[in-house]
């Protein structure tokens, strides 16, 4: 058995990399993908806990996360398409109309 802590550290690393992607990249699609990566990192932690504690709840939450992620991707990509249609760009740094 691989100790639970290994999975959790891996999850943390992946989550941080996802966060780094969100912060560092300008391409809306890549940011979106990074968000997915973060979700996966969290999922990994859940499944790891479910395994450790022998409880199905962790897996069920992952199941719901996957379902919600699917919905999120559908809406998110639709938004990106809509933004692209008006701005002809998916650079998030150009979407700063709301600056103070």
Partner 1 sequence: MTVDLILFLILALVSVATAAGMLFSRNAVYSALFLVLNFASIAVFYLLLGAPFIAMAQITVYAGAIMVLFLFVIMLLGAEQLAPIKVLPWQRPLAIGLAAVLVAETAFLLIMRARPAADIIPPAEAVNTVGELQRLGMSLFNQYLLPFEVTSVLLLVAMVGAIVLTKREKGERE
Partner 2 sequence: MHFSETINTGFFFLAPWLVFAPVIGLLVNIILGGWFLKRSWGETAVGTVASLASGAAFVVSALLAYSVYANGGHGESVFLAQWMHIGDLQLNWTFRVDSLSTTMMLVVSGVGTLIHIYAIGYMHEDVRFKKDEKRYQRFFVFLNLFIAAMMILVSGDSYLMLFVGWEGVGLCSFLLIGFWYDMDTLGRSSWANSNAAKKAFITNRIGDFGFLIAGFLMFWAFKSFDFNTVFEAAESAPPELILLITLFMLVGVAGKSAQIPLYVWLPDAMAGPTPVSALIHAATMVTAGVYLVSRSAPLYTLVPEAQYVVAMTGAATALFAATIAVGQYDIKKVLAYSTISQLGFMVAAVGMGAYVAGMFHLVTHAFFKALLFLSAGSIILGLERGHHHLAHHGGGHGDHHEEVFDPGDMRNMGGLRKTMPVTFWLYLTGTLALAGIFPFAGFWSKDEILADAFREGYTGVYWLLTLAAFFTAFYMGRQIWMVFFGEPRHEAAAHAEESKPIITVPLMVLALLSIVGGALNLPGLHTFTEWLEHTLEVHAGEFVMSVALISTALALAAIVISWLIYGRNPLKAGQPDPLKKPLGLVFTGMENKWFVDEGYKAVILDNYVRISKFLADVIDWRFWHDWFHEKVIAGTYNWLSNVALNKYADQRGIDAFANGLGEWTKEASASLRRVQNGFVRSYALSVLLGVVLILGYLLLK
For residue 54, the partner it binds in partner 1, partner 2, none, with Cβ less than 5 to 8 A by kind, is partner 1
Among 1, 2, 71, 98, binds partner 2 (CB under 8 A): 98
What string marks each residue from 11 to 50 as x (binds partner 2 by CB under 8 A) or -? --------x--xx--x----x-------------------
Integer CA distances (angstroms), 88 to 67, 74, 77, 82, 97, in order: 30, 20, 15, 10, 15
Give yes or no for residue 42 binding partner 1 (CB under 8 A).
no
For residue 99, the partner it binds in partner 1, partner 2, none, with Cβ less than 5 to 8 A by kind, is partner 2
Give yes or no for residue 87 binding partner 1 (CB under 8 A).
no
Sequence-separated (6 or more) residues with CB below 8 Å from residue 92: 26, 27, 28, 31
Contact 64, 30 (CB under 8 A): no
Give yes or no for residue 86 binding partner 2 (CB under 8 A).
no
Q: How far apart are CA 18 and CA 12, in angstroms?
A: 10
The residues pairing with 27 across neighbouring beta strands, listed in sequence order, are 91
For residue 97, the partner it binds in partner 2, partner 1, none, with Cβ less than 5 to 8 A by kind, is partner 2
């Amino acid at each position: 058995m691989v100790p639970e802590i290994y999975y959790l550290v891996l999850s943390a690393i992946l989550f941080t990399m996802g966060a780094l992607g969100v912060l560092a990249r300008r391409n809306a699609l890549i940011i979106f993908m990074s968000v997915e990566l973060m979700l996966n990192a969290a999922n990994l932690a859940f499944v790891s806990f479910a395994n450790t504690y022998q409880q199905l709840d962790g897996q069920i939450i992952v199941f719901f996360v996957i379902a919600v992620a699917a919905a999120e991707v559908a809406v998110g990509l639709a938004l990106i398409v809509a933004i692209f249609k008006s701005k002809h760009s998916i650079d998030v740094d150009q979407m700063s109309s709301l600056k103070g």
